[in-house]
Structure 1
Amino acid sequence: MRRPLFRRIVDVVTVNDEYFQQRSDATGSLNDINVLHRSPIFDDVLTGRAPKVSYIVNGRENDRAYYLTDGIYPSWSTFVKSITFPTIEKHKLFAQCQESARKDVERAFGVLQTRFAFIRHPCLVWDKDNMGKIMIACIILHNMIVEDERETYLHYYDPDEFFNDMPTNRQPESYTEDDGQPFGFSTDRIGNLASYMVNREQLRNRETYNALKNDLIEHIWQKFDTNN
């Protein structure tokens, strides 16, 4: 990040949030500003807070978004896994399209990993809300940097930077905040238990998973088959 952009971000943040304003400690010294001082991925789905979606695949209407995953994930209605050993052309085409799209997502995440150490290394924040906010902040900062440096990319852009400096398996040094207190867990209560259980059952429904996957296989075959 170039210094003018960094200073502009710092100035706006410190003006609007006193958490990031430097103050003297007990010794009279100014404290350093540290932006990152301080899972379930389906909580919004289970509690009914997930964004509403609607799309039609193979003539069937769906109202739940899904994640592209590999074979280690369970067969849930919000996952679409590839086909490990496809034997027919229809399944081979689906596996190719699914894995290609998944690779695009992984590469986009890899770009963020190379830019932000917080994403590259094991997460020390245990609260899922804070994780989400930090991820959104990293994406916003990344987009601001791209916009600020766009005209310079032809001069020094090196794609190899996205494949070096990969995450390590080092153990984090501490699981506590700077003041010595342990990170807290989120304790948000479930507003409607009956609705939560219904959503949970739908989320884990294998029949819905199979129906969506089969519809996607047919949709991709009809749209992209070059022999048809």
Structure 2
Amino acid sequence: MYQGRSKTATIILEVVASKDLWIWHSFFGTPGSLNDTNVLQRSPMFDDICEGRAPEVSFNVNGNRYNIGYYLTNGIYPKWAAFIPAIKLPQTAKQRLFTRKQESYRKDVERAFGVLQARFAIIRQPALAWSTEILWKIIMACIIMHNMIVEDERENY
């Protein structure tokens, strides 16, 4: 069940991170054999939004004020208002700028996970434990400590 494309056991970690490396959401334990859409169906990512616990967001685009955040995605996600897909072939200067900015923001998640792996060697190596519950506890402990470090370092920004 946890066997991915590599034919080895894999487990997916879903993360939403911001530019300052803060990890806002994590969901761990989905089998690596699932695609992004199936992971999204199992994920509690939108539970916080539905229950009014999501971080406050406010921004303006083209003179319109928005107070609900959005997620940058690739093309396989459903066409929901909360998902902003990449522009596959940007034609205009405005589209090229948007695509370049979106790609740089999507790198924030990769960067946050890279920092998490650099800080905690235990998640860099293949897991020695077979229990997904133990792995979940290890990942969550590392994310909590990571966010504590990020919060402590924010004073230096």
TM-score of the two chains, using structure 2 as the length reference: 0.52
Give the gaps of 5 or more residues in structure 1: 1-38, 148-228
Q: Which residue of 1 aligns with 2:58?
A: 54
**Over alpha carbons, which structure has the higher Rg?**
1
Tell whether the 8 Å contact from 1:114 to 1:120 is kept in structure 2 after alignment. Answer: no
Root mean square deviation of aligned Cα: 3.5
The total of aligned residue pairs comes to 107
Q: Structure 1 residues 131 and 108, CA, compared in 2 at 3 Å: closer, same or farther?
A: closer
C-alpha displacement of 1:102: 1.5
Tell whether the 8 Å contact from 1:53 to 1:63 is kept in structure 2 after alignment. Answer: yes
Higher helix share: 1
Could you report, residue by residue, the CA deviation over 1:54-112 in whole angstroms, capped at 9, with x for unpaired residues?
22221101111122222222222222221112223321221111102211332222111
Q: Structure 1 residues 95 and 80, CA, compared in 2 at 3 Å: closer, same or farther?
A: same
Give the gaps of 5 or more residues in structure 2: 1-42
Higher strand share: 2
Pick one of 78, 91, 94 that aligns with 2:95: 91
Q: Which has the higher contact order (CA 8 A, sep 6+)?
A: 1
Q: Structure 1 residues 59 and 46, CA, compared in 2 at 3 Å: closer, same or farther?
A: same
Could you report, residue by residue, the CA deviation over 1:125-166 in whole angstroms, capped at 9, with x for unpaired residues?
49x9x976752333324676x89xxxxxxxxxxxxxxxxxxx
Q: Structure 1 residues 131 and 56, CA, compared in 2 at 3 Å: closer, same or farther?
A: farther
Tell whether the 8 Å contact from 1:52 to 1:63 is kept in structure 2 after alignment. Answer: yes
- Tell me, in whole angstroms, the C-alpha distance in 1 between the residues paired with 2:150 and 2:57: 27
Secondary structure, in 3 states, of the residue corresponding to 1:68? strand
Could you report, residue by residue, the CA deviation over 1:106-127 in whole angstroms, capped at 9, with x for unpaired residues?
222211123223487689349x
Q: Structure 1 residues 82 and 121, CA, compared in 2 at 3 Å: closer, same or farther?
A: farther
Which structure 2 residues correspond to residues 144-183 of structure 1 after superposition, within 5 A?
none
Pick one of 42, 60, 78 that aligns with 1:74: 78
- Tell me, in whole angstroms, the C-alpha distance in 1 between the residues paired with 2:47 and 2:84: 19
Q: Structure 1 residues 120 and 143, CA, compared in 2 at 3 Å: closer, same or farther?
A: farther
